[in-house]
């Protein structure tokens, strides 16, 4: 199919949704993709590019001639266009930009000037704005006349004052249900303005909280410069949730679509940190070498205390990170949350201590060993709850991401406490 | 402020966005809330109820008289209304439903008949539909006449055939830019139909993939019964991301907004499972008691092997769970992914073995101990990569949630392997 019948291929691809074409390209071998790419016209390319996975997109971009690419990028919305240009290698980027009309080039360069993961990078510059004094009829007539200047899809019309500051928004459906002679100023709703340098996570929070479909983006002076629509936000929320999962486990963001070398680089740093924390925990055990030589069963039981504490700490940690991300947890209810976690930690600790203590007594018939184990377990469960709740809260307070590698820190605390409490108590009670 | 000046209070609340009022209510004490609630009129209540946190909402619902509540629910969109009714206790629910007009009651009962977390529960029944033969002008005139029957906001007009099956959709902005005499059939776009029993995670995936703003929901026969809008999807994506984080850490969903007892109940089961796995790992150590008595340093080093393996396994696991959730990982590329993970595991294992081996040799000057440690570490890192990638893939293949408590299983595998490989090798080489 790939070879020969280019016309037929184009027809087939045209019938599919761009997202499905992008999926298909993912299943093809690299060679087949290389053959397919020259057959794509700029319009199709424009639709597919923003749907491709980063890895495949970079490969495809390499094989498209600069002139075709310049045309394709010209067809895209400004936020997607900036993304693609950002992905190009330096010399190809210069070629593509040179092949574009002056205005489009300026728009893309302006988008790229905003920092990554801010509202400025997320927004599209195409907006629909109308002056305050227009009526519904005037607005509709204007849109019918200026069809080519409108974004392909839009959901709100921003009503602006003479200095182009947004003063309100009219949802398109509201425009549709109103009579022609109603002034826009009368049916407009309050707008939530997004500053151009706001972090994308904050933008997503605002969209979620106020159920926004689109929002105007303004410069520091208050001038309307673009809009963010909810479909871009869906991607951001997806991304932030994924980042939290990876960060909790200690995987740096860099390694997401990377090759083996990139994967090693994204994980090794946290493993090295873990080596240090594990060595410190091991030194605790080392300090009790004499006790272990006398009673080797201690060596078998101490990982149980550490493991249960680690698991309980991770549970609390996950709940705290989630609550921080959804802003259910803040400085106001932090003390209540932490103390509730500590109660839960003690309750779970008591339940597990009773159960495991019973088993240990049945196996070894040693009351003092049972006592040392049960007490150490309760201490560790309590500390686990405290660490699991306090570490992310402290990181958040310091303005850092509460998810980043918290698991490494929490399990360090529970390993250290588990080994120290159990071996220390055993040394005191037993020997 | 709360006492006395009810008129002024109502005015103040009216000026705020319902989401902000809901936030404010969260900051009030339970007593203050109880006093505030009777002052809210049904309209305000309708707007606030769907914004409140579950815990607070249940409390507020208790204090609202059934008649007021019935009116408030009547003002809400059908999906939010069903949610609220679902939260009521049995006898209050009966009272509220009895106080509602026949039609509204039937709608809510129909919504509640769909399973939780399906498209049917997510959708609102209010849709805007138009027959195929209408023109743009006819549609706009119809909307202006039937203002009261329209949903408050809508983004697409579904074009339906005589049996009320959707055949296309016209975005509202498209309607606005078209001339009055253009037939809807000419400007309509393909629709992605959502079956009423589709799981909400699947619905969210489709919305994200095709960048949908709204989609028609159809009955098994194909008849249009409602629509889902993207603002509902934003909530679903948030929720699913949170569920993954909690599930990975072994927290059952039930414990999210719960009291201390609920929290214990949501975490204890996984801790009990962890007790069993930890006991099995401990029995491995127990089998080598003789060796540990002879060389207590083994007891200090074995947790390092286990901990590094556990961490590496968790990293791989997080990447795999994320990739499965975003459908980047499937049966097609599973083998490639797993083998790539194993290469990364070996590479990281070699790097860490070289580093820690060097330190151990410097500290103890024992080449055989160093060898046993390094080899065990490499084995465990390799097994960690395999388990971290294979366990979620296997769970997914069996149709189960790949996130649920995978961490407990993976750390069990790495603890077991770490202890067994290190102590076993030490016994062979050293003693």
Domain definitions of chain B by residue range: 6-113, 129-229, 250-430
CB-based contacts of A349: which residues, under 8 Å, 6+ apart? A312, A377, A378, A379, A380, A381, A382
With a cut of 70, list the residues of chain B below it in pLDDT: 1-7, 10, 253-258, 431
The beta-carbon neighbor of B344 closest among A177, A244, A260 is A260
Shortest distance, CA B304 to any CA of chain A (angstroms)? 5
CA angle A257, A259, A262 (to 5 degrees): 85
Three-state SS string across A29-81, please? CHHHHHHHHHHCCHHHHHHHHCCCCHHHHHHHHHHCCHHHHHHHHHHCCHHHH
Neighbours of B30 (CB within 10 A): 10
Round to whole Å and give the CA distance between B184 and B178. 10
The beta-carbon neighbor of A300 closest among B282, B304, B328 is B282
Per-residue model confidence as pLDDT tens digits over A300-322? 999 999 999 999 999 899 888 88
**A218, β-bridge pairs:** A195, A224
Q: Would you state the structure tokens that stand for residue B383, as one six-digit string?
A: 């097994």
- Contact residues, A window 395-414, toward B, CB-based 8 Å cutoff: 407-408, 411
Instruction: Tell me the fold of A254-430.
Output: Tetracycline Repressor; domain 2 (1.10.357)
The beta-carbon neighbor of B311 closest among A153, A347, A408 is A408
Residue A165: per-residue pLDDT: 94
Query: Residue A388 — pLDDT band, cuts 50, 70, 90?
Result: very high
Round to whole Å and give the CA distance between B265 and B86. 23
Report which of B204, B269, B265 is spatially closest to residue B239, judged by C-alpha positions: B204
Neighboring chain A residues of B356 at a CB cutoff of 8 Å: 275, 279
CA pseudo-torsion sign A375, A381, A385, A390:
positive
Residue A6: per-residue pLDDT: 64
- Contact residues, B window 68-107, toward A, CB-based 8 Å cutoff: none
Neighboring chain B residues of A419 at a CB cutoff of 8 Å: 303
Q: Would you state the structure tokens that stand for residue B339, as one six-digit string?
A: 């083998």
Contact A65, A99 (CB under 8 A): no
Give the gyration radius of chain B's Cα atoms.
Answer: 30
The beta-carbon neighbor of A297 closest among B155, B289, B315 is B289
CA angle A37, A42, A43 (to 5 degrees): 115
Question: Domain spanning B250-430: which superfamily?
Answer: SLC41 divalent cation transporters, integral membrane domain (1.10.357.20)
- Kindly list the strands in the beta sheet with A224-229, ordered across the sheet, starting from the edge strand earlier in the chain: A194-195, A214-218, A224-229
The three-state secondary structure class of B195 is strand
Neighboring chain B residues of A318 at a CB cutoff of 8 Å: 245-246, 248-249, 251
**B400, β-bridge pairs:** none
Is 50 exceeded by the pLDDT of residue A255?
Answer: no
Locate the chain A residue with the closest alpha carbon to B232. A211
The three-state secondary structure class of B192 is coil
Neighboring chain B residues of A155 at a CB cutoff of 8 Å: 155, 172-173, 213
Enter the DSSP assignment of B115. P
Choice between B350 and A23, residue whose per-residue pLDDT is larger:
B350
Is 70 exceeded by the pLDDT of residue A48?
Answer: yes
Round to whole Å and give the CA distance between B239 and A403. 17
Per-residue model confidence as pLDDT tens digits over A97-110? 888 888 888 888 88
ipTM, interface predicted TM-score of the complex: 0.78
Contact B137, B180 (CB under 8 A): yes
Neighbours of B269 (CB within 10 A): 12
Q: With CB atoms and an 8 Å threshold, state whether B140 touches A176.
A: yes
Q: Would you state the structure tokens that stand for residue B320, as one six-digit string?
A: 């795999």
Is 90 exceeded by the pLDDT of residue A39?
Answer: no
Is A6-113 CATH 3.30.420.40? no
Q: With CB atoms and an 8 Å threshold, state whether B230 touches A234.
A: yes
CB-based contacts of A264: which residues, under 8 Å, 6+ apart? B344, B347, B348, B351
CB-based contacts of A365: which residues, under 8 Å, 6+ apart? none
Q: Would you state the structure tokens that stand for residue B108, as one six-digit string?
A: 């809510």
Exposed (0-12), middle (13-18) or buried (19+): which is A29, by Cβ within 10 Å?
exposed
DSSP conformation letters of A131-187: ETT-BHHHHHHHHHHTGGGS-SS-SEEEEE-TTS-EEEEEEHHHHHHS-TTSBHHHH
Contact B180, A137 (CB under 8 A): no
Round to whole Å and give the CA distance between A133 and B13. 29
Q: Would you state the structure tokens that stand for residue B233, as one six-digit string?
A: 């999807």
Which run of H or of E encompasses B157? strand B156-160
Is B129-229 CATH 3.40.190.10? no
Residue B4: per-residue pLDDT: 56
Shortest distance, CA B155 to any CA of chain A (angstroms)? 7
Interface contact B274, partner A, CB < 8 A: yes
* Residue keyed to tokens 């809210």: B40
Interface contact A119, partner B, CB < 8 A: no
Neighboring chain B residues of A314 at a CB cutoff of 8 Å: 249-250, 407
Interface contact B340, partner A, CB < 8 A: yes
Neighboring chain A residues of B271 at a CB cutoff of 8 Å: 308, 311-312, 315, 348, 352
Per-residue model confidence as pLDDT tens digits over A150-168? 787 888 999 999 999 999 9
Interface contact B314, partner A, CB < 8 A: yes
How many residues are listed for chain A in this entry?
A: 431
Exposed (0-12), middle (13-18) or buried (19+): which is B398, by Cβ within 10 Å?
exposed
Round to whole Å and give the CA distance between B195 and B203. 9
The beta-carbon neighbor of B356 closest among A275, A325, A341 is A275
State the architecture of A129-244 in CATH terms. Roll (3.10)
Contact A378, A387 (CB under 8 A): no
Interface test with A, best of B238, B281, B374 (most A CBs within 10 A): B238
Residue A18: per-residue pLDDT: 79
Neighboring chain A residues of B255 at a CB cutoff of 8 Å: 319
Neighboring chain B residues of A296 at a CB cutoff of 8 Å: 289-290, 292-293, 299
The three-state secondary structure class of A403 is coil
Q: With CB atoms and an 8 Å threshold, state whether A213 touches B155.
A: yes
As a whole number of Å, the end-to-end CA separation of chain B is 80
Q: With CB atoms and an 8 Å threshold, state whether B230 touches A213.
A: yes
Round to whole Å and give the CA distance between B207 and B136. 27
Locate the chain B residue with the closest alpha carbon to A277. B304
Q: What average pLDDT score do residues A338-360 get?
A: 91
As a whole number of Å, the end-to-end CA separation of chain A is 80
The beta-carbon neighbor of A289 closest among B175, B296, B344 is B296
Interface test with B, best of A30, A322, A402, A411 (most B CBs within 10 A): A322
Neighboring chain B residues of A244 at a CB cutoff of 8 Å: 241, 245
The beta-carbon neighbor of A321 closest among B245, B303, B306 is B245
A424: left (phi over 0), alpha (psi -120 to 50) or beta: alpha
Chains A, B: CB pairs < 8 Å: 319
Enter the DSSP assignment of B124. B
Report which of A226, A231, A122, A129 is spatially closest to residue A170, judged by C-alpha positions: A129
Residue B255: per-residue pLDDT: 46
Round to whole Å and give the CA distance between B306 and B387. 14
Residue A5: per-residue pLDDT: 65
Round to whole Å and give the CA distance between B248 and B318. 8
DSSP conformation letters of B22-63: HHHHHHS-HHHHHHHGGG--HHHHHHHHTTS-HHHHHHHHHH
Contact B275, A308 (CB under 8 A): yes
* Residue keyed to tokens 């691809």: A13
């Amino acid at each position: 199919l790939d070879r020969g019948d280019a016309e037929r291929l184009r027809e087939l691809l045209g019938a599919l949704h761009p997202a499905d074409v992008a999926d298909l390209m993912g299943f093809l071998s690299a060679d087949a993709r290389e053959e397919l790419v020259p057959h794509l016209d700029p319009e199709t390319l424009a639709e597919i590019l923003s749907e491709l996975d980063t890895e495949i997109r970079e490969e495809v971009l390499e094989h498209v001639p600069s002139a075709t690419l310049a045309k394709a990028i010209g067809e895209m919305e400004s936020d997607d266009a900036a993304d693609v240009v950002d992905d190009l290698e330096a010399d190809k980027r210069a070629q593509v930009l040179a092949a574009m009309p002056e205005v489009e080039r300026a728009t893309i360069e302006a988008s790229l000037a905003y920092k990554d993961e801010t509202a400025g990078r997320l927004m599209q510059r195409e907006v629909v704005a109308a002056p305050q004094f227009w009526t519904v009829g005037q607005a509709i007539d204007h849109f019918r006349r200026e069809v080519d200047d409108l974004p392909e899809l839009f959901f709100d019309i921003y009503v602006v004052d003479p200095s182009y500051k947004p003063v309100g928004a009219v949802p398109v459906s509201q425009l549709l249900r109103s009579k022609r002679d109603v002034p826009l100023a009368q049916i407009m709703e309050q707008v939530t303005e997004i500053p151009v340098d706001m972090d994308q996570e904050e933008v997503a929070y605002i969209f979620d909280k106020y159920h926004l479909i689109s929002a105007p983006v303004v410069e520091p002076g208050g001038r309307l410069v673009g809009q963010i629509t909810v479909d871009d936000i869906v991607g951001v929320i997806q991304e932030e949730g994924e980042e939290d999962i990876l960060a909790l486990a200690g995987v740096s963001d860099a390694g997401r679509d990377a090759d083996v070398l990139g994967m090693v680089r994204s994980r090794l740093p946290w493993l090295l940190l873990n080596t240090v924390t594990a060595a410190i925990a091991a030194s605790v055990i080392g300090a009790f070498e004499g006790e272990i030589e006398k009673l080797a069963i201690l060596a078998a039981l101490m990982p149980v205390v550490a493991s249960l504490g680690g698991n309980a700490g991770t549970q609390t940690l996950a709940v705290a990170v989630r609550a921080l991300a959804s802003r259910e947890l803040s400085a106001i209810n932090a003390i209540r949350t932490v103390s509730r976690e500590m109660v839960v930690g003690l309750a779970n600790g008591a339940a597990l201590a009773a159960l495991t203590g019973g088993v240990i007594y049945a196996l070894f018939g040693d009351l003092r060993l049972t006592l040392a184990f049960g007490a150490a377990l309760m201490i560790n469960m309590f500390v686990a709850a405290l660490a699991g709740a306090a570490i992310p809260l402290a990181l958040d307070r310091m303005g850092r991401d509460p998810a980043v590698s918290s698991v490494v820190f929490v399990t360090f605390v529970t390993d250290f406490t588990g080994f120290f409490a159990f071996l220390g108590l055993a040394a005191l009670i037993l020997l």
